Chains A and B, each alone.
Chain A
Amino acid sequence: MKFYKGTTSPYKVREVAGILRPLEIELCTTDPIDPEETGDTLEANAQIKVEAYGQYVGQKLIKQFVSEQGCSQEEARTFLKLNQTWVMCEDSGLFIPALNGLPGPWSARFDDCLIQDNRIVGHTTSGRTRDEIDTANNRRVLELMKGIEQPHRTASFGVCLMVADIDGTILFKTTSFAAGWILEGTRGRDGFGYDPIFASGSSFGKSWAEIDGMRKNLISHRRKALQMFTAWLASQLKGGER
């Protein structure tokens, strides 16, 4: 059994690897592709990604297998499917009720969005690096949250995780959330995305960028989703495997 993690974020790869590798799950990376995320929900966008990555990885591996083994494409496809070669993708986001659920599925590119009355009305692509856009996204959320007091600063991180085979057929999906609140400013230097402005009871009020990766991995929404995933995985193991 082999899993390919499809993402453009090296931080997500680190987080998933840190959780799954001790379980002896063979995790591989693939070149990032960036299918347009046109969905309005985490689930819709996760589906777009996992189907695209599944087919991309499938085509690539079939080509490689045909060239190395001298077999037909169909034989290569059959082998990869029997060998349980799967792709895992996710869409995650920060949901703030006081902002009508924004940034939500637009979390990764929030600062590139046009907003009116807490609704997304348009989107441009600025071409900034991941770190640059992360910083800008945090700044924008903090601006929009100015003047909003507790208890209206509540927020949650959500993630929808999906697994597909090399044809892009979805085999598994799960969604998990972690509840917390939005801080008044950025704090900490660990983590990624919205971690510097997000705190929770489980982190004792510290921002998620103030706790190290190991501690974050024990409380995060991604951890919860991966727990569901590993439980599912246990039911998929073939005899003799673990």
Chain B
Amino acid sequence: MVDIQTLTIERFRALPLVIEGESKEVRYAGNGLVIIRFKPTVYSFTHNRCAEIPGSHIPRLEASRIFVEVLRAAGIRHAYREIGNEFVLADLVLPHDVEFKKYGIPVFVPPDLSVQEIDALPKAPAIEIIAKRYLTGTTAHGCIGMAGSRVRKSHPFYAGMPLEKDGALPEMLIRFDWRNPLNQIGRGERLISQIIGNAKCPKVLRKLLVHYLDRTADATLPSQLANLYIDVKQAQRTAFLTAMALEEFLASKQIVFYDLCMFIDESGTLVYGEISPDCGRFRHLDLGSLDKDVWRTGGSSQDVINKWMLLVQLLKGEV
């Protein structure tokens, strides 16, 4: 078995590639195990910012180590077996075919496993699951007029409760989003052609617009559609339990999350992705934001790392 504590980047790169996206590189270590490298990238769709921030993978790894332990203690299965300072050793969760197509990578088949063993491997849907506690982000931006409205009077529990922007939702929501690539090259050019046709446009402006319009957001799925790719009921259960276990732990550190994204396999029983400051909006009751909101709103990359390191220190009880 590969020792992730002594593994070098060269030896890592020599392993067969499973999948590589914007934030992670996954390589096969044999026997149904993978080594994962967290890329030091941060992304904000809302503000169209994506950047490599050296060192940003460290708090992500450290926080994941703590959170995965919390889940383990709560009896929730997670694919991560060991989280080192540079790499993660995990059970292989086979990526969905659409992920390989999305990144132009050949479909990975574990060379050392039999067909039956491959069939038994957990499978990843191309879906991200979001646990939401507050009316923020895409729900707040996308549903015009929801902030400021009230819950229907006929609701058995929350009749008349006001919904406010950035305010707490009456109860936790679980949402299923189809994962899209950050950019869909060609989309911007097509849209620009449709919008401005043959009209003259300065080259620099056109390039900027194309870059902006190339972006694709994840798409929220109706639960019936999501159910074609993941056992929605079971995944919802697992997502609730995961979010509540983390919430309980965070509450002991005076921290709440506004939303949290996670990855669960097709069967809805195995959590397999990173759970870190990069996966949600975390707020300390006294110290405020502990996430990349500072960067989304124009702060420096060092500001992000400082916030994330503070979160890790708070989780460890060091401050």
Contacts and interface: CB of A to CB of B under 8 A. Distances in A.
Report if A and B associate in a common complex. yes
Interface of A: 10, 13-14, 17-18, 21-24, 27-29, 202-204, 211-215, 218-219, 242
Contacts of A211: 285
B256 interface: yes
Contacts of B158: 14, 17
Contacts, number: 52
Interface of B: 133-134, 156-159, 161, 167-172, 237, 240, 243-244, 247, 251, 254, 256, 285-286
- 5 nearest A-B pairs in the assembled complex, by CB-CB distance: A214-B168, A17-B157, A218-B251, A212-B168, A204-B286
A213 B156 contact: no
The winner among B168, B237, B240 for most chain A CB atoms within 10 A is B168
B172 to A, nearest CB: 5
Contact of A22 (B161, B168, B171): B171
A95 B133 CA distance: 31
Given A14-B170, A202-B254, 6 more contacts: A28-B156, A212-B167, A215-B168, A215-B256, A218-B251, A242-B237
A212 B172 CA distance: 14
Contacts of A218: 247, 251, 256
A57 to B, nearest CB: 15
A24 B243 CA distance: 14
A22 B285 contact: no
A214 B157 contact: no
Contacts of A13: 157
Nearest to B131: A22
Nearest to B257: A214
A14 B162 CA distance: 12
Nearest to B244: A22
A27 B157 contact: yes
B113 to A, nearest CB: 32
Given A14-B157, A29-B156, A214-B256, A23 B244 contact: yes
Contacts of A203: 285
A60 to B, nearest CB: 16
Nearest to A219: B251
Contacts of A24: 237, 240
21 contacts: A10-B159, A17-B157, A17-B158, A18-B157, A18-B170, A18-B171, A21-B157, A21-B171, A22-B172, A22-B240, A22-B243, A24-B240, A28-B156, A29-B157, A202-B254, A204-B254, A204-B286, A214-B134, A214-B169, A215-B168, A218-B256
Nearest to B284: A204
Contacts of B285: 202-204, 211, 215
A201 to B, nearest CB: 10
A219 B256 CA distance: 11
Contact of A214 (B133, B161, B254): B133
